[in-house]
Amino acid sequence: MGIGAGVKDEESVTELPTKSRFRYNSPLVQVALIGLVCFCCPGMFNALSGMGGGGQVDPTAANNANTALYTTFAVFGVLGGGIYNILGPHLTLAAGCSTYVLYAGSFLYYNHHQHQGFSIAAGALLGIGAGLLWAGEGAIMTAYPPPNRKGTYISLFWSIFNMGGVIGGLIPFILNYHRTEAASVNDATYIGFMCFMTAGTLLSFAILPPNRVVRNDGTHCTNVKYSSVSTEATEVLKLFANWKMLLIVPAAWASNFFYSYQFNNVNGLLFNLRTRGLNNVFYWGAQMLGSVGIGYILDFSFQSRRMRGFVGIGVVALVGSAIWGGGLANQLPYSHDHPPKRLDFRDSAFAGPFVLYFSYGLLDAMFQSMVYWVIGALADDSQTLSRYSGFYKGVQSAGAAVAWQVDTHKVPLLSQLVVNWSLTTLSYPLLALLVMLAVKDDNKTGDEIVKEAAVPSSNKDVATT
């Protein structure tokens, strides 16, 4: 099987229905595999970032590395969908995963030499790699599942992926348990992250291309050929004038903008080193709960897909408002000029800030799963969804690049919180409008919807009205 050979090979995959969900070429197995890849690479990256400052006492190097990362990510997030459509999953995902290993290694180097240059360069390369990985992941997660079960498969992916953050949080907690004072993590922590990331790079070769994946009724995930450079360049440019993508921009910008505030100024400022690692176990664990809960609402709460979308957005809006309100109450007592005393998990004052940080993780998963569900409801073919997912990740990364510099320049913490709360709140009515105008609403059974998805889409948005 060639990568990016550009050949449609319908005879290579049986058209007969099969009932086994655990076939290697089933959507369930393939989504689980991309979840494991992200478990090892961005999952471990999240655990490293979630400690605040990349595990360093001074967050300046990590902030500058993350700015470089998300600047290149913004470009290659948009281009990533086109690159995935040209190269296919193996080259795209493996190239993306390998940059995570280099990034973790750059902080191992920084532990000894305190030179930012390597970390910043590694961050820029990781932005390129992350753009490729997440565009491919978005296409797989939104295009491979049956149309009536996309929320469930998104939840499955999100749970596996965030287990990486849970395990990754245990690594610094265990390896730095006796270092309760403010300190940088030890070398073994970074080496542990690098081992997982290397495994993820190798595992990416197990992902099948769309034309080799068959649903239980025998339908293919896509019947289109791999694309060309000229086609993808044209289609990517069209995204910037696509009204559906423009409505997603505020949600995309907001969805990573709050990380610098939560990681550096909540977890990083309020807790000591070992407790930050422990907190990350529960932060990413909360993401698993959040994705499962919102996935159930988006797939099973009502027969009408459009109504499920409205209810899901409403639930996230209510939960989000409550959590950011709690964040405001937590933020008022401290600032950059009046930093708090760092808490240990054994302190009596630990519970309140811990519950807030846990809730931030819950909201992150609910918010991003909701956005991915909306994107997945706009089309059913892999090529279109890879471009949509790439655009989402590109805008998301541009927001994150700005956010990390906002933190580097010591913008008041209360201002950071208000901006984050405002951005997420602005997103909800725009996503609801998108669901109302662009998501196909019918009351057919799941089997009927799946059979309709078997009809070749000719690379069109088959789910728009």
Q: Of the candidates 142, 154, 108, 146, which has an alpha carbon nearest to the alpha carbon of residue 378?
A: 142
Contacts of 399 by beta carbon, 8 Å cutoff, 6+ apart? 70, 252, 253, 254, 255, 256, 257
- Please report which confidence band the pLDDT of residue 449 belongs to, taking 50, 70 and 90 as the band edges: very low
Strand partners, 271: 343
CA distance 66 to 71: 8
Highest mean pLDDT among 49-53, 171-175, 449-453: 171-175
- The sign of the torsion formed by the CA atoms of 305, 307, 310, 312 equals negative
3 state SS of 462 = coil
Evaluate if residue 77 carries a pLDDT over 70: yes
Instruction: Say what angle helices 413-438 and 305-331 make with each other, to 10 degrees.
Output: 170
- Please report which confidence band the pLDDT of residue 82 belongs to, taking 50, 70 and 90 as the band edges: confident
Q: 31: burial class by Cβ within 10 Å (0-12, 13-18, 19+)?
A: buried
Q: 315: burial class by Cβ within 10 Å (0-12, 13-18, 19+)?
A: middle
Q: Of the candidates 301, 325, 319, which has an alpha carbon nearest to the alpha carbon of residue 367?
A: 319
CA distance 102 to 105: 5
User: In the chain, pLDDT over 70 holds for what percent of residues?
Assistant: 86
The mean pLDDT of 328-341, rounded to a whole number, is 93
- Please report which confidence band the pLDDT of residue 464 belongs to, taking 50, 70 and 90 as the band edges: very low
The mean pLDDT of 430-446, rounded to a whole number, is 77
The mean pLDDT of 391-406, rounded to a whole number, is 89
Taking only the tens place, the pLDDT of each residue in 126-154 is 999 999 998 888 878 877 888 778 888 88
How many other CB atoms are there within 10 angstroms of residue 219's CB atom? Answer: 18
Evaluate if residue 349 carries a pLDDT over 90: yes
Task: Write down the mean pLDDT value for the chain.
Answer: 83
pLDDT of residue 453: 41
Tokens of 442: 């019918």
pLDDT of residue 52: 63
3 state SS of 1 = coil
Encode 324-352 in three state secondary structure: HHHHHHHHCCCCCCCCCCCECCCCHHHHH
pLDDT of residue 249: 95
- DSSP string for residues in 200-235: HHHHGGGPPPGGG-B-TTS-BS--PPP--HHHHHHH
Lowest mean per-residue pLDDT among 18-22, 201-205, 435-439: 18-22
Alpha-carbon radius of gyration of the chain? 21
CA distance 361 to 285: 8
The CATH number for 23-229+236-453, chosen from 1.10.1040.10, 1.20.1250.20, 3.40.630.30, 3.30.450.20, is 1.20.1250.20
Greater model confidence, 248 or 20 = 248
pLDDT of residue 423: 95
C-alpha angle 451-457-460 in degrees, rounded to nearest 5? 135
Please name the helix (run of DSSP H) or strand (run of DSSP E) that holds residue 173, with its range, or none: helix 150-175
Evaluate if residue 16 carries a pLDDT over 70: no
pLDDT of residue 182: 53
CA-CA distances (angstroms) from residue 146 to 150, 243, 327? 6, 26, 38
Q: Of the candidates 408, 453, 270, which has an alpha carbon nearest to the alpha carbon of residue 347?
A: 270
Taking only the tens place, the pLDDT of each residue in 317-327 is 999 999 999 99
Please name the helix (run of DSSP H) or strand (run of DSSP E) that holds residue 257, with its range, or none: helix 243-257
> Which alpha helices (DSSP H) does 348-381 contain, by range?
351-376
Greater model confidence, 88 or 422 = 422
Q: Of the candidates 374, 385, 378, 306, which has an alpha carbon nearest to the alpha carbon of residue 143?
A: 385
Q: Of the candidates 301, 425, 438, which has an alpha carbon nearest to the alpha carbon of residue 367?
A: 425
Q: What is the DSSP letter of 185?
A: P
CA distance 138 to 89: 11
The mean pLDDT of 23-33, rounded to a whole number, is 89
pLDDT of residue 319: 97
Contacts of 313 by beta carbon, 8 Å cutoff, 6+ apart? 370, 428, 431, 432, 435
Evaluate if residue 364 carries a pLDDT over 90: yes
Tokens of 349: 């004052």
Please name the helix (run of DSSP H) or strand (run of DSSP E) that holds residue 42, with its range, or none: helix 42-50
Domain boundaries, the chain: 23-229+236-453
Encode 76-107 in three state secondary structure: HHHHHHHHHHHHCHHHHHHHHHHHHHHHHHHH
